[in-house]
Structure 1
Amino acid sequence: MPHFVIDCSERILLTHCEEKINQEIHKVAHLTGLFDEKDIKVRVNPFKHYSVANRKEDFIHVFANVMEGRTTTQKAELSKAVVAKLNDLFPSVENIAMNVRGFEKATYCNKSML
């Protein structure tokens, strides 16, 4: 944990490849001090077909799923840091956003917990 899932228009990958995006978001998440580096997971989902306000405008939206225990302020600062980094990488993309969802430790399970 955490997972950073980046939905984006396929065309933004002409500016930076998926590997670069993954590395940069991983770095930002680690620098917040909220997560162990080895636990951070980042992936990019590029879309060929999409609509933004009924137009084909480039977009980036990050869905972060983090374990409970972070404050609203910490989650807000995480969002701002990630959006700021993406804005630096993609200054011409107008639609950049992020939301952070917390989930309960009691309902989380992974293979090593079986």
Structure 2
Amino acid sequence: MPHCIVEYSQNLEQEVPPADLLEAVKEACIASALFSPQDIKLRSFPFKSFLSVGQEDAFIHVTLRVLSGRTEEQKKQLSHLVLEALTQFSLNNVSLSVEVCDMDRATYAKQVVLSQ
């Protein structure tokens, strides 16, 4: 935990490789001291088509899905650390946003299937 989902406008790939975005988010999650590094899961999705107020404005949006039970202050700190990590890329004319979403512990199920 957490599941870190990085959505971004595909036009940003010319300025920042997606692997760099994932690394920045991972390091921010580690810096939060809320997660073990081996538990952090990351994935990214580029969007070829996107509009913001009728214009094709660049964006990065990170959703951090965490198991419920963390305080509002912890989640606030986490979102600010990730947002700060995204600003390191010195991008211009881009919207950066981060949200932390709780996953209900009582209904979350997980199974790791390993090869035999």
Q: Partner residue of 1:66?
A: 66
Aligned residues: 113
Q: What TM-score do the two structures reach when normalised by structure 1?
A: 0.92
Q: What TM-score do the two structures reach when normalised by structure 2?
A: 0.91
| TM superposition outliers: structure 1 runs of 4+ over 6 Å | none
Q: For 1:31 and 1:3, locate their aligned partners in 2 and report how far apart those are by CA, in whole Å.
A: 16
Q: Partner residue of 1:27?
A: 27
Which residue identity is paired with 1:54?
G
**Structure ranking higher in helix proportion:** 1
Tell me the SS of whatever aligns to 1:111. coil
Contact 1:3 1:42 in 2 (8 A): yes
RMSD of aligned Cα (Å):
1.4
Q: Cα 1:80–1:48, aligned 2, differ >3 Å: closer, same or farther?
A: same
Question: Runs of 5+ in structure 1 lacking a partner?
Answer: none
Q: Partner residue of 1:92?
A: 92
Contact 1:7 1:44 in 2 (8 A): yes
Q: For 1:42 and 1:53, locate their aligned partners in 2 and report how far apart those are by CA, in whole Å.
A: 29
Q: Partner residue of 2:106?
A: 106
Question: Runs of 5+ in structure 2 lacking a partner?
Answer: none
Q: Partner residue of 1:75?
A: 75
Contact 1:87 1:93 in 2 (8 A): no
Q: Partner residue of 2:54?
A: 54
- The percentage of counterpart residues that share the same residue type is 28
Which residue identity is paired with 1:34?
L
